[in-house]
Structure 1
Amino acid sequence: MEERIVNSPIRPVRIAGIGRYLPETVVTNGELEERFGVPTGWIEEKTGVIERRRADVAGGETASIMGAAALAEALGDGPLELDLILNASGTPEQAIPDGGPLIQRALGLHRSGIPCFTVHATCLSFLAALDVAASMLTVGTHRRIAIVSTEIGSTGVSGVDPKSESLWGDAAAAVVLERTNPEQGSALERVLFRTWSEGADLTSIRGGGTKLHPSRPGAVPEDLHFQMNGPAVLQMCLRRAGRFFAELHPSLRTGGMDGSGPSERIDVAITHQPSKAGLEGMERFGVLRERTVVTLDRLGNCVAASIPCTLYEAIQTGRLQRGQRALLFGTGAGLSMAGALLTY
């Protein structure tokens, strides 16, 4: 079956504010290597992570509190004029209510009436929400939308696998997106999503839903733990990457980004931070190392918060400045692949 080609029009929107929240607790490789009895340097070699943050869940540090803190920074000291709060997270704080209202409440806006809901596409939730928000702003139904990705992915690991335990980091990030004029230059130029459900079982948490509810007879803890066949995911992505990047933008080619002219140049690559192997694989199918902002070594894989956390770092360090173009890219369970071109 041929993939249906959907045109993605340029949408004149701008990131008016961005914020990030990192839990105070830092877990080093030395701590984990001692716990699991693996050699010094083993974790960094296998995953590319040197340290990661851990939320103090027992102390009441929730995903909504983290997300609210990131959104507070994104809002700054300006007037609070939000038409919508989108929760774009892959690890929900609880099943019901939706995480959006929990973030609104944690921000102290529990009587504001601001609508809230979740856009959930696992690690690609931020990109999916960016697409949704840009469309709403462009058609004129909204003026300012907050997108919040807040993740406590560390709760989904089994605690017995050193590679899995060491990969995940907890973090939150938020952006405030607003409608702008085409003359100002900021725009979401292109968004491309593709899903191949033949890979749906390669990345999963099987339990927690109606199929394997925790209360059913025979339920086992493993149903609630994250499971992934990393090599199979990488190979599946590599097989499809060439066509995907060529469709996303003509200057993107497997093995590198050759666009250098004013209308083609990509100044920085903001990718999901899946793992050392995942980042190396991205270089093979179109993302160059020298233009890629890396946070994996200090933050680990922060699920959907990886892309906005890395975007935050690119902006704060000056690697992405107004008028420059960023490639946002990632893969997620499904199996899905998504990319976006954003002029900041």
Structure 2
Amino acid sequence: MHSAEDPSRAITLTGTGSYVPDTCVASADVEERLGLQDGWIHERTGVLERRVASPSQAASDLAVIAASQALASAAVSAADIGLIIVGTSTPDSPLPSTACIVQAKLGATSAVALDIDAVCTGFVYALDIAHKMMMGDPDLNHALVIGADVYSRILDYTDRRTSVLFGDGAGAVVLSRTNVGAAIDYSKLGSDGTLSDYVGIIGGGSRRPLSVDRLSAGEQYFRMNGRAVRDFVHDRLPQMIHDALDARGLVVGDVDLFVPHQANVRILSRKSVSTSASPTINSLSPRTDSVTPELRRYPSPSTRWSDRAA
């Protein structure tokens, strides 16, 4: 990001907001439930605690609180918002979009509203799409981008591969057409659908509608091949960072802060495996404090943590 001076690029982040539910579940409690040794979760993931939504809270409820904070921070009214994009993998319901529910709750009657489901990259996708929509539409002056998830509703709490990692929460930013604030200097998205079996929920879609038998088999729960995801991150993320730096004529030492997705401290640790062509994630950082470790108290609600640091 850079300070916005050129009016032709004057789309900036003018406000931020975040929300986590009140209920806090310590890793020690999860370990006891799963029959794990004391410290097992923290040793392997870095997570000390996570937040869990109340039974009455859905993704839109968390999103609205974070969004309201972002609007107040930006000094922008809901009526001035022309676009709302919600990145979520846990919508209130399959239809309508959670963004439309948020729009109604905020009273943002002029806003186009849509959801993006890109799991852990949901907020980044939503932010990039909103930014590029604003670049293409000069009449779009303010956009609200939200990441919100209630992963506690889709976790199998007998599965130590997933239930120890995720929490609930929401974050939001306001993009405005103004010369005040930090602008997005460069972005690049990517996908690899051949690896779609690494994470997912098998049941509940048009391919495998839920039935009594599929519910009994746990097809409604989130599943993940953690080792494959870790190897993918080790392989791709360092090169993507270098590509972004090269595109802007920068080197690692020019960067004050790296904010990677906060999934697992092992992925971000100095123990990350490197190859001759790609350095470790941690070695990208010239200082140990330039990679932020939010996950100890706020483990990933999938989409949220990039916006927390925006």
TM over 0.5: yes
Show the 5 A alignment for 1:1-344: 11-57=9-55, 60-76=56-72, 78-80=75-77, 81-107=80-106, 109=107, 112-139=109-136, 140-181=138-179, 186-215=182-211, 220-250=216-246, 258-260=251-253, 265-280=254-269, 281=272, 283-284=281-282, 286-287=284-285, 289-311=288-310
* Inter-partner Cα distance in structure 1 for 2:130 and 2:283: 28
The residue that corresponds to 2:4 in the other structure is none
What amino acid is aligned across from residue 289 of structure 2 in structure 1? E
8 Å CA contact 1:169–1:302 kept in 2: the answer is: yes
**Which sits farther off after the overlay, 205-214 or 239-248?**
239-248
Quote the Cα distance in structure 2 between the aligned partners of 1:200 and 1:279.
Answer: 22
What letter is aligned with 2:93?
Q
Query: What residue ranges of structure 1 are gaps of 5+ in the alignment?
Result: 1-9, 312-344
Equivalent residues of 1:86, 1:119 under 8 A apart? yes
Aligned to 2:258, what secondary structure does the other structure show?
A: strand
Distance 2:282 2:40 in 1: 24
CA shift digits 1:9-44 (9 cap, x unpaired): x94321111001110000012222222222211111
Tell me by how many angstroms 1:79 deviates. Answer: 4.3
Q: Count how many residue pairs are aligned between Structure 1 and Structure 2.
A: 288
3-state SS of paired residue (2:176): strand
Mapped contact 2:149–2:170 kept (Cα < 8 A):
yes
283 and 228 in structure 1: CA distance in 2 versus 1, 3 angstrom threshold: same
SS where residue 16 of structure 1 aligns?
Answer: strand
**CA shift digits 1:265-303 (9 cap, x unpaired):** 211112211112222246247356421111100011110
For the structure 1 residues 191 and 79, does the alpha-carbon distance in structure 2 shift closer, same or farther, using more than 3 Å as the test?
closer
Quick check: 1:157–1:226 contact (8 Å CA) kept in 2?
yes
Determine if contact 2:202/2:220 at 8 Å carries over to the other structure.
yes
TM normalised by structure 2 equals 0.85
Amino acid at match of 2:71: L
Alpha-carbon distance, 1:239 to partner: 2.8
Q: Decide whether the 8 Å contact of 1:234 with 1:278 is kept in 2.
A: yes
Structure 2 unmatched ranges of 5 or more: 1-7, 273-279
Determine the C-alpha separation between the residues in 2 that align with 1:251 and 1:190. 8
Give the AA of the match of 1:138. Answer: M
Asked if the contact 2:147–2:304 (Cα under 8 Å) also holds between the matched residues in 1, the reply is yes
Aligned sequence identity (%): 26
Q: 1:144–1:177: 8 Å Cα contact kept in structure 2?
A: yes
Counterpart contact for 1:89–1:118, Cα < 8 Å? yes
Q: Which amino acid aligns with 2:14?
A: A
Partner of 1:323: none
Give the counterpart letter for 1:36 in structure 2.
L
Counterpart position of 2:5? none
Q: State the Cα distance separating 1:99 from its structure 2 match.
A: 0.7
Q: CA deviation at 1:204?
A: 1.3
Secondary structure of the equivalent of 1:167? coil
Q: 1:219 to 1:38 in 2, by over 3 A?
A: closer
**Cα deviation, residue 180, structure 1:** 2.7
Conservation of the 8 A alpha-carbon contact between 1:12 and 1:188 = no
Counterpart of 1:330 in structure 2 is none
Q: Is the 8 A contact 1:206 1:223 kept in 2?
A: yes
Q: Report the Cα distance in structure 2 between the residues aligned to 1:203 and 1:63, rounded to whole angstroms.
A: 20
Amino acid at match of 2:267: G
Alpha-carbon distance between aligned partners in 1 of 2:91 and 2:224, rounded to the nearest angstrom: 19
Q: Cα offset for 1:113?
A: 4.0
| Matched residue type, 1:22 | V
Going from structure 1 to structure 2, the CA distance change for 1:224 and 1:44 (only over 3 Å counts) comes to same
CA distances 1:105-143 after superposition (whole Å, capped 9, x unpaired): 333x17x24221112211111111111111122231410
User: 1:271–1:310: 8 Å Cα contact kept in structure 2?
Assistant: no
- One-letter amino acid matched to 1:202: Y
Calculate the TM-score normalised by the size of structure 1. Answer: 0.77
Q: 1:162 to 1:188 in 2, by over 3 A?
A: same
Cα distance change of structure 1 residues 46 and 306 upon mapping to structure 2, 3 Å threshold: same
Structure 1 pair 128–66 and aligned structure 2 pair: CA distance change class (3 A): same
Q: Deviations over 1:36-69 (max 9, x none)?
A: 2222111111211001100002xx1121111001
